[in-house]
Copies of this chain bind each other. A is one copy, B any other.
């Protein structure tokens, strides 16, 4: 491995896609303004944010006390990052002016030494950098760095970039490998990603080296957080105790090279893995890359829900054991799935293997966007694969697993994360090397790449059709490599690839999930890809006890689920036949309009009215409807299942 490709910025891409354009509109028109109002404490009935006011107080522009979570600053940082991407999708001078104003407040809040964290500036200046384990200073810094880099890339304005560079320099002045330096590591990984973004934007090695240091330092002393606690003698959350800490939660139990299994808080883990892959690619670091592969493989082979969700253990929003993937108790946080997109994207840059793009697709079409109501107004943090009215959100063990999306949360992590993912979608579509343009995702758009302008027209994910129209910018030969989803089999005749209407032998061109088409391109060259989207029945590994006897249905990248609303309830009594007869159709009306649903000729099992009976239940023919998983819980509280018994 080595990183031979360069990133494509989201500003190089204009999405124009039946599926994604409306998602982008919703986050830009609904979520960003809503969050702006929240940050300004202007939404009645929503827990006060105070995030901007905290910066005003820190800047001396306002009087008052800090209010909010210790990581409240990150809400503003994430919003600014989302705004930056949104301006590349849909310019908005007024929004940009307001963002500039906020950035000015942030600039004024920064301390003369570069320090920037309003909680400690306002509330506990004497306690700076003493509780990396719980107090999220580095986490907030990382998000502000991401915002600064994104805002610079989107607008060319470097005010926030300068702020975060000064902040990064402050951190570099304090932490590092030398004996005279502090050997702290963040309690919640994120600064590593922020530093790498600074590096990518500025080219300054010191930021990459600092990111690498935080990664290398992690787990070297598994007692670091404990020693830190003993030294400072106080705790931010919970009662002070002298007990040792379980740092598997923070992935600080071993060095990143020693970690064989994805454990602990899923978002922390994935942010770390993403930064590891970024550093590995940037430095061509084979050892770090192997560490990434080990963790990647553990996730995708043992710990990934079919929807792309990760985190089978609601306690600590964490990974569970291998194959321990409870459906109704799943955590599968929206943010963790978003972070899986980041990780997959970085892995793809290291190794052009379609399996990474396949996972990116799985995340994008399922457990990321399931976090948002179809109208963009409400959000799930937790994305279960089974929901039961009266149980989910109510009973012990299931209280985290809400049956319908609530409104804004006090801890606003997932909605802004969705904003930045959806508005920066262009980033994940392409990579470019000296001689190859890689297309990872079939999303309709026009992309201004180095070697060509490419227009991609597609009806994916509802149809397996894509046309790439290429206008080269060079006369030299180059390659267009197009990701072919794992379920497309070119041995089947109906699947085809053509150049300007003439069939290509895709089997020969296919290598690790990409077809490579090399030529001297002429303006107007068109690559067409076509494959019918079959409904696929998927079985889980026998070790997954929760899915025993069950199947899940997929079509293209879309995972389907079953809701009580469409199926007269009692989903557990429905059976998917071994010989599947499923007819896809486009929903013509209602909330699900435009989605492809499935009509399945299945069975319902009808048994005795008694609680227990020796009379075998009988099968009756039943028409079963499946809807895309991401669209569940848009029609009120009702039963939902992804995995269905087969018979």
Contacts and interface: CB of A to CB of B under 8 A. Distances in A.
Copies of this polypeptide in the complex: 2
A359 to B, nearest CB: 11
Interface residues of A, number: 54
A645 interface: yes
The A interface, classified by DSSP as helix, strand, loop or mixed, is: loop
Interface stretch (A157-165, A342-350, A605-613): A605-613
A542 B620 CA distance: 14
A314 B545 contact: no
B300 A539 contact: no
Given A321-B390, A324-B391, A645-B548, A541 B396 contact: no
B395 A315 contact: yes
A537 B614 contact: yes
A543 to B, nearest CB: 7
A608 B645 contact: no
A435 interface: no
Interface stretch (A45-53, A301-309, A504-512): A301-309
Nearest to A396: B315
A436 interface: no
Interface stretch (A72-80, A85-93, A570-578): A570-578
Nearest to A617: B539
A313 interface: yes
A578 B388 CA distance: 29
Contacts of A537: 614, 616
Nearest to A605: B542
A57 interface: no
A542 B606 contact: yes
Contact of A573 (B320, B390, B542, B570): B542
Interface centre among A321, A539, A578, A615 (most CB of B within 10 A): A539
A306 B612 contact: yes
Interface centre among A541, A548, A616 (most CB of B within 10 A): A548
Interface string A530-554: 0000001111111111001100100
Interface string A598-610: 0000000111111
Contacts of A391: 321, 324
Given A314-B396, A324-B390, A301 B545 contact: no
A52 B584 CA distance: 73
A397 B314 contact: yes
Given A324-B395, A397-B329, A541 B612 contact: yes
A647 interface: yes
A640 B459 CA distance: 48
Contact of A608 (B329, B539, B609, B612): B539
A199 to B, nearest CB: 34
A360 B570 CA distance: 31
A540 B396 contact: no
Contact of A613 (B300, B388, B539, B548): B539
Given A313-B396, A573-B548, A612 B540 contact: yes
Contacts of A544: 611
A607 B539 contact: yes
Interface string A321-332: 101101001000
Contacts of A388: 545
A423 to B, nearest CB: 30
Contacts of A617: 539, 542
Nearest to A323: B611
A612 B323 CA distance: 11
Interface string A419-444: 00000000000000000000000000
Contacts of A610: 301, 541
A570 B541 contact: no
A320 B549 contact: no
A124 to B, nearest CB: 26
Nearest to A320: B395
Interface centre among A395, A543, A573, A608 (most CB of B within 10 A): A395
Interface string A617-647: 1000000000000000000000000000101
11 contacts: A302-B611, A313-B395, A315-B397, A323-B611, A396-B397, A537-B614, A540-B611, A541-B613, A542-B617, A549-B645, A552-B612
List 3 A-B pairs, minimum CB-CB distance, nearest first.
Answer: A315-B396, A548-B572, A397-B397
